[in-house]
Amino acid sequence: MKILVTGGAGFIGSNFIIYMMGRYPDYKIVNLDKLTYAGNLENLKSVEKNKNYKFILGDICDKKIVKYAMRGCDTVVHFAAESHVDRSIKNPEIFVQTNVIGTEILLETALKFKIKRFHHISTDEVFGSLSLKNLQEKFNENTPYSPRSPYSASKAGSDHLVRAYIETYNFPATISNCTNNYGPFQFPEKIIPLFIINALKNKELPIYGTGLAVRDYLYVNDHCKALDLILHKGKIGETYCIGGDEEKNGNQIADTILNLLDKPKDLKKFVTDRKGHDMRYAMDHSKITNKLGWKPTVTFKEGIQKTIDWYKINESWWKKIISKEYEQKNKIKLKKWKR
């Protein structure tokens, strides 16, 4: 199998590449990544010299680069996306450009190249928000879409495009909607790495509003295992919801991290709530469990401890990430593609 992975230098994409190359050493993987602020080739140091791995610097909105990267591949796994809600509120346009237009370009190219399998990675946020009063209610594959931020709206748009290609062109695609991931290589703007790094530095942990907004958390390696099963056993045209069975609010996340690091609770600081903040996400993963035999294996406490240990060992990685010098050095301007 030769797989084109888009956004493979990002958090989940890099974990997926490392996982797949470890499990399937004969597979060839092409990584197409624009290397925006969240893309980091240091994530892939362990595989960069592997003869079956190739990196291509490029934007999924660039048709020529997409054609070059996809040629000879039989499978596409599409991670590339702008993914931070706060950033989408400040600058929605780039989210529409990358998440919608970029996805359409990938689909168009994959259709022309007769790709055997296209897997699209999406989010639980496309389904909107659940109530804190009915904790039995969860999202599933039949939940109507109700995006509430520019980010989730752009991801909903990309999901609908993939589904339209399936229906219109009999296109061999699958979709997965996943809950919040955490683990190694996650960019420090996200809540768990931000809280870990701040706690390690004895800095305040900023919690939105009253800290009651709930998310379902999944250790990233469990997500990679689910994607592996979908690629090899999933049914063409189907959507699979991937959940972690670990619903936590901001207070609980902060308390878990502070307890494991033996830090004082007064490091918690409540800040102005996010605009249009969804109060709860939760995912029913019955379909992928019953059909493909997948279920999460890492508990939240175990996963947080693993993640804390990783950030302790890899202090040089995150210190570079959060430094202004790093940001300045990594403002890569893509040159016009030449054949």
Supply the residues annotated as catalytic. 124-125, 151
Give how far Cα 79 sits from Cα of 87, 122, 136, 188, 322, Å.
18, 8, 30, 19, 23
Strand partners, 176: 121, 240
Give how far Cα 87 sits from Cα of 63, 152, 213, 229, Å.
25, 12, 19, 32
176 Cβ neighbours under 8 A, 6+ residues apart: 119, 120, 121, 122, 226, 227, 230, 239, 240, 241, 242
**Can you say whether the dihedral through the CA atoms of 181, 184, 186, 188 is positive or negative?**
positive
To the nearest 10°, the Cα dihedral for 213, 219, 220, 223? -90
Give dist(CA 78, CA 107) in Å, integer: 10
